[in-house]
């Protein structure tokens, strides 16, 4: 778990300036910066000649970053690949029709992509010279659905060869998975590029674990530019999918007699202990109320203290998120609207400047 409060680099921050040519200095008497095409005047005014060389250097650096970065836009493929979105949706719909769990798997993949060095498709890379993210602690024997993304990417390649990144295919597939399971839909901002390499260390460091307390969860999401409210809404993704006993055994055991202060319904805890038996890999639904429908059942379960993971129940344990959890439990539409907005924001982080990027043909390896 990474509690560092670094300001993440977002694709969207690049939007305003990415289409503009570099700033130029014009020797005006009033000493202002002037943009030749937009005529927009900089807020920066010179006060005498104070530190002008440092200001010039800083602005040169900022304008360089701006023009080298790419913008995300909901219209990115409108001309480049109009057939893209129906192609991805069909591939995801086929997978979900064959196996309901495929939808949860794809949503899970998108979260684990975006929280590790930005949304760059790195989670999809097989191990190369260096160990990839697939084998990281939070991912190994857990993430699945890679073949769903392969199929969606194949459909994208058939429609528009070499044009669509794996990171964008994953972002679209996650949106489609949610709506196919009965949840909200939203316009996906697109134009991501794929990383050449994945980082196991970064995956181990950045993904919050199921034993996390509320402060750690808030910090992990804040480190990605997401608020506590975003975090609670996004945790509602656990309205679908399954978890292995290894991730909730401690909570179920602590629940015997309500031990260790774990807020868990005693009957539910007994059910979980029974379901687990001795097998770490045995599965239980993350949403005890409506396991396979994307609705607000997860929040209703939290209010009944039937959250599966310790980190789930932390959202409703007498802390800052209780009121929001109650609201989502009461009002599914409210949850759906917040979830959609938070998913857009979760999809914004870009890889660090200077990261080599490309549009991978095969999501499992660099070109
Ligand atoms: C708040 C912090 C979070 C923690 C601590 C957490 C932790 C976990 C854990 C431990 C599992 C079970 C993994 C396994 O047993 O293999 C899981 C599953 C899942 N998570 Fe999260 N998660 C968090 C947030 C999110 C977010 C933000 C999303 C998506 C937006 C998400 C989507 C999912 C899905 C869909 C599954 C089920 C996957 C499947 O059935 O294959 N999680 N999560």
Residue 363 CB burial class (10 angstroms; 0-12, 13-18, ≥19): buried
Going by CA atoms, what residue is nearest to atom 40 of ligand 1? 241
162 pLDDT exceeds 50?
Answer: yes
Q: Are 83 and 152 in contact (CB under 8 A)?
A: no
Cα of 123 to ligand 1 centre, how many Å?
15
Going by CA atoms, what residue is nearest to atom 17 of ligand 1? 243
pLDDT at res. 300: 98
Going by CA atoms, what residue is nearest to atom 1 of ligand 1? 235
Residues touching ligand 1 (Cβ under 6 Å) are 101, 104-105, 107-108, 111, 142, 144, 208-210, 212, 217, 231, 234-235, 237-238, 240-244, 247, 286, 309, 311
- Rounded mean pLDDT, 176-186: 98
For residues 194 and 259, membership in a common domain is answered with no
Report how many domains make up the chain. Answer: 3
For residues 340 and 354, membership in a common domain is answered with no
For residues 169 and 267, membership in a common domain is answered with no
Identify whether 14 is part of a domain. no
Parallel/antiparallel/unpaired status of strands 32-34 and 24-25: antiparallel
Binding-site residue numbers for Ca(2+) are 113, 116, 118, 120, 122, 133, 239, 287, 290, 295
For residues 31 and 88, membership in a common domain is answered with no
256 pLDDT exceeds 90?
Answer: no
pLDDT at res. 247: 97
Q: Among 115, 178, 233, 238, which is best to mutate for testing ligand 1, by the most ligand atoms less than 8 A from CB?
A: 238
pLDDT at res. 220: 98
CA distance 176 to 93: 8
For residues 147 and 63, membership in a common domain is answered with no
Q: pLDDT confidence of 18, banded at 50, 70, 90?
A: very low
- Rounded mean pLDDT, 143-150: 98
CA distance 121 to 363: 7
Q: What is the pLDDT of residues 242-251, one digit of tens each?
A: 999 999 999 9
For residues 261 and 335, membership in a common domain is answered with yes
Q: What is the pTM of this model?
A: 0.85
24 pLDDT exceeds 70?
Answer: no
Residue 355 CB burial class (10 angstroms; 0-12, 13-18, ≥19): middle
For residues 304 and 291, membership in a common domain is answered with yes
For residues 196 and 237, membership in a common domain is answered with no
Identify whether 363 is part of a domain. no
Sign of dihedral through CA atoms 201, 202, 204, 205?
A: positive
Mark whether 15 is an active-site residue. no
Q: What is the pLDDT of residues 292-322, one digit of tens each?
A: 999 999 999 999 999 999 999 999 999 999 9
- Tokens 């023009």 — which residue? 67
The number of the ligand 1 atom at minimal distance from the alpha carbon of 212 is 5
Q: pLDDT confidence of 9, banded at 50, 70, 90?
A: low
pLDDT at res. 55: 41
CB atoms within 10 A of CB 250: 15
For residues 41 and 131, membership in a common domain is answered with no
Q: pLDDT confidence of 130, banded at 50, 70, 90?
A: confident
Residue 150 CB burial class (10 angstroms; 0-12, 13-18, ≥19): middle
For residues 168 and 116, membership in a common domain is answered with yes
Of 114, 94, 95, 118, the residue nearest 105 (C-alpha): 95
CB within 8 Å of 323: residues ≥ 6 apart: none
pLDDT at res. 66: 34
Q: What is the pLDDT of residues 313-365, one digit of tens each?
A: 999 999 999 999 999 999 999 999 999 999 999 999 999 999 999 999 999 99
The catalytic residue among 4, 34, 108, 112 is: 112
For residues 133 and 229, membership in a common domain is answered with no
CATH number of 308's domain:
1.10.420.10
CA distance 167 to 357: 11
CA distance 112 to 237: 13
Identify whether 4 is part of a domain. no
Q: pLDDT confidence of 209, banded at 50, 70, 90?
A: very high
Identify whether 3 is part of a domain. no
Residue where a domain stops, chosen among 31, 47, 68: 68
What is the C-alpha end-to-end distance of the chain, expressed in Å?
A: 31
Cα of 108 to ligand 1 centre, how many Å?
6
Q: pLDDT confidence of 262, banded at 50, 70, 90?
A: confident
CA distance 195 to 125: 9
% the chain with pLDDT above 90: 75
Identify whether 366 is part of a domain. no
Identify whether 13 is part of a domain. no
Residue by residue, DSSP assigns 248-262 as THHHHHHTGGGGGG-
Cα of 286 to ligand 1 centre, how many Å?
8
Identify whether 141 is part of a domain. yes
CATH number of 183's domain:
1.10.520.10
Q: What is the pLDDT of residues 38-92, one digit of tens each?
A: 333 333 333 333 334 444 444 444 333 333 346 899 999 999 999 999 999 999 9
Q: pLDDT confidence of 129, banded at 50, 70, 90?
A: confident
Q: What is the pLDDT of residues 267-300, one digit of tens each?
A: 999 999 999 987 889 999 999 999 999 999 999 9
Q: Among 241, 244, 345, which is best to mutate for testing ligand 1, by the most ligand atoms less than 8 A from CB?
A: 241
Q: What are 86's two structure tokens? A: 């129906």
pLDDT at res. 11: 66
Identify whether 7 is part of a domain. no
- The residue range of the domain holding 28 is 20-68
1 pLDDT exceeds 80?
Answer: no
pLDDT at res. 255: 64
For residues 169 and 240, membership in a common domain is answered with no
């Amino acid at each position: 778990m990474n509690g560092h409060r670094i300001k993440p680099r977002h694709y969207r921050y690049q939007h305003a300036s990415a289409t503009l040519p570099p700033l130029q200095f014009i020797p005006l008497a009033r000493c202002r910066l002037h943009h030749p095409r937009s005529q927009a005047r900089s807020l920066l005014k010179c006060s005498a000649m104070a530190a002008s060389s440092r200001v010039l250097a800083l602005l040169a650096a900022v304008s360089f970053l701006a023009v080298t970065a790419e913008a995300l836009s909901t219209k990115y493929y409108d001309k480049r690949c109009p057939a893209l979105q129906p192609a991805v949706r069909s591939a995801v719909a086929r997978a979900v029709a064959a196996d309901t769990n495929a939808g949860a798997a794809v949503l899970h993949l998108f979260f684990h992509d975006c929280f590790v060095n930005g949304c760059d498709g790195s989670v999809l890379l097989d191990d190369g010279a260096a160990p990839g993210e697939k084998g990281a602690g939070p991912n190994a024997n857990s993430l699945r659905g890679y073949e769903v993304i392969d199929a969606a990417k194949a459909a994208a390649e058939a429609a528009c060869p070499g044009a669509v990144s794996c990171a964008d295919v994953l972002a679209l597939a996650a949106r489609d998975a949610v709506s196919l399971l009965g949840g909200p839909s939203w316009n996906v901002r697109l134009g991501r590029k794929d990383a050449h390499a994945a980082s196991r260390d970064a995956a181990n460091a950045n993904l919050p674990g199921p034993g996390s307390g509320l402060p750690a969860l808030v910090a992990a999401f804040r480190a990605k530019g997401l608020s506590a409210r975003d975090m609670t809404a996004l945790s509602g993704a656990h309205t679908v999918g399954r978890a292995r006993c290894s991730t909730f055994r401690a909570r179920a055991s602590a629940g015997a007699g309500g031990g260790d202060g774990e807020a868990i319904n005693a009957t539910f805890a007994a059910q979980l202990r029974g379901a687990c038996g001795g097998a770490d890999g045995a599965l239980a639904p993350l949403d005890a109320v409506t396991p396979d429908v994307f609705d607000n059942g997860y929040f209703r379960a939290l209010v009944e203290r039937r959250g599966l993971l310790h980190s789930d129940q932390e959202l409703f344990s007498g802390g800052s998120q209780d009121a929001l959890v109650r609201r989502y439990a009461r009002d599914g539409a409210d949850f759906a609207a917040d979830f959609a907005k938070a998913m857009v924001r979760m999809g914004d982080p870009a890889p660090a400047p200077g990261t080599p990027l490309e549009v991978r043909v095969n999501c499992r390896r660099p070109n």
